[in-house]
Chain A
Amino acid sequence: MSVIQVQSPGLLTTVQDLGREGFGPIGVSPSGAADPISLRLGNRLVGNLEGAAGLEMTLLGGTFLFPEGAVIALTGSDFGATLDGAPLALWTPTEVKPGQTLRAGSTRSGARCYLCVQGGIAVKPFLGSASTHLLSGLGGYQGRALRKGDVLHIGPADTSFRAKSLAPRALERLSPRKVLRVTPGPQSDWFPEPSQQLFYNSTYRVAEEANRMGLRLEGPPVAQRSNGEMITEGVSLGAIQITAGGLPIILFVEQQTTGGYAKIANVISADLHSLGQLRPRDELRFERVDWDTARTLLLEQEQLLTSRDLFVP
């Protein structure tokens, strides 16, 4: 079996696939890639099923040695990666020769870069998924972020693979957004009109503590009617909850499954991947859309992801 040797792990590198659904009743959130579109595309570029496990690097990438070589693709944000010192292009498969070293640096664009390998990263699945759930120390590689000296196994590869690249036009349409489209949250009506206006007209900044559990935002505090007492209830991915101090937190892939704060809005499914590319101090805004628009945008996105125009030979 081929391996990847971790010579330096980077800031926070974890094994991720598309997550584990169905375990809400025991309090386990899906986890999975923070930018699932980048992982899906990376996997397809190397001939994997789109849900195969890859490496998710955060802000600062790692250094990886491939003693037996591999076919890889880097997707997501540009971390200025090199292969034995030569610049490595994103969004295209690359054949790594035995003994070559991939070195990823600091991000030049968004928060996360994905390293997909033909055959996928082979780890023991937990609840049916290879995803690392950092908070509970489960899944992925020993339930934790990668460390120097770790050795990752590469799964068996599909040899019928033919190299292709991503069409620039498709890539443009799938690029992460800084204006996040949202639908109303379950407690929208707890927020009076002036609060709604403030929320939708303000620019918010991603706080330093943003992580896979949630993105804490800084900006104008949003007031809510004080008469409502929240009973803890199930919370959805991308829910924008307003804390006691009035500041928003967007719940993310390793989210708590239930919570007791009022939710003013929820990021639409088609924009969830954009959350995975937001860095601390990035600025963002919210734009309200209706249910039909949210559905249409997701439908168009999925059609593009399955269309023939997605790749160029």
Chain B
Amino acid sequence: MPAPAPDQARFQPASDQSLLIYFGQQISLNAHERVRKFLRLLELEPIPGVRNLHPAYCSVLVKFDPLKWRHEELEAILKQYLGHLEDVSLPEPRQVEIPVCYGGNHGPDLIDVSAIHGMTAAQVIELHSSTTYVVYFLGFVPGFAYLGELPEALVTPRLATPRRKVPAGSVGIAGNQTGVYPVETPGGWRLLGRTPIEMFRPDQSAFSLLSIGDRVRFIPISPERFAALESA
């Protein structure tokens, strides 16, 4: 029987030095696991001339040395890797808890989000913090983890006009995703709260608090606790 894996991926040149591999057409845990296994394989057996990898929900962008590889040559090699995808075993996911102070100055959109869904603020907090999220990937800016999936009742479009500045540590939602801004950036996600802990720690060996595949829970904390943790 032919190996099914290579046929389930689609290759698409993205630039003269990058190739996109799609593992599916929609966000799913299955596609996510294949992204992780693919990354793991490339980590275990690196391909010379492959310079960078940009994982996402159901795709990986492979950046390569264009003087060493043509798209079709790299594609042929990557297809062999895909044939071994099912042999890769992934480690048990880490469980990470992130303290969040919801509402007030820390979560300026909590009231609006509650109103949109006809809920009380307490119900939104309860829903957001009672779900275990998967770190689908890190992207956008250093240490930004795309967490999914938000409970159906909390799915909210992003702000029509993004904020020019979102403070580091802000916890936001957009569509069926949630995430924490690791550094101050512009941003269009609706902000429910803020964590006092650092998401990106350049002075530590792991750099990012979260890694692809981690499982995350948000733990509600008081403004006093936030202040105490922030100054700790």
A-to-B contact residues, CB < 8 Å: 21-28, 30, 126-127, 133, 135-138, 183-186, 231-239, 256-259, 263, 266-269, 291, 294-295, 298-299, 302
Contacts and interface: CB of A to CB of B under 8 A. Distances in A.
A186 B12 contact: yes
Contacts of A259: 140
Given A27-B140, A138-B202, A269 B16 contact: yes
Contact of A298 (B16, B70, B139): B16
A15 B101 CA distance: 37
A182 to B, nearest CB: 9
Contact of A256 (B26, B66, B141): B141
Interface in B55-89: 55-61, 63, 66-67, 70-71
A192 B25 CA distance: 21
Given A25-B55, A25-B138, A233-B59, A266 B16 contact: yes
B212 interface: yes
B223 interface: no
The 8 residue pairs across chains A and B that have the minimum distance between CB atoms: A234-B61, A234-B54, A258-B139, A266-B15, A294-B16, A24-B54, A236-B18, A236-B15
Contacts of B142: 23, 26-28, 133, 136, 138
A242 B200 CA distance: 30
A302 B56 CA distance: 32
Interface in B97-116: none
Contacts of A237: 15, 17, 63
Contacts of A235: 14, 54, 61
A8 to B, nearest CB: 26
B139 A27 contact: yes
A302 B17 CA distance: 15
A237 B18 CA distance: 9
B191 to A, nearest CB: 19
Given A257-B54, A266-B15, 11 more contacts: A26-B207, A27-B141, A183-B16, A234-B20, A234-B56, A234-B59, A238-B15, A263-B14, A266-B14, A269-B15, A295-B67
Contact of B67 (A136, A186, A302): A302
Interface in B10-42: 12-18, 20, 22, 25-27, 39
A107 B78 CA distance: 46
Contacts of A302: 67
A101 B207 CA distance: 39
B149 to A, nearest CB: 13
Contact of A236 (B27, B61, B67, B139): B61
17 contacts: A21-B63, A23-B52, A25-B212, A26-B207, A133-B142, A135-B141, A137-B183, A183-B15, A233-B22, A234-B55, A234-B56, A234-B60, A236-B61, A239-B14, A256-B140, A294-B16, A302-B67
B108 to A, nearest CB: 22
A268 B54 contact: no
Interface in B117-170: 137-144, 146
B222 interface: no
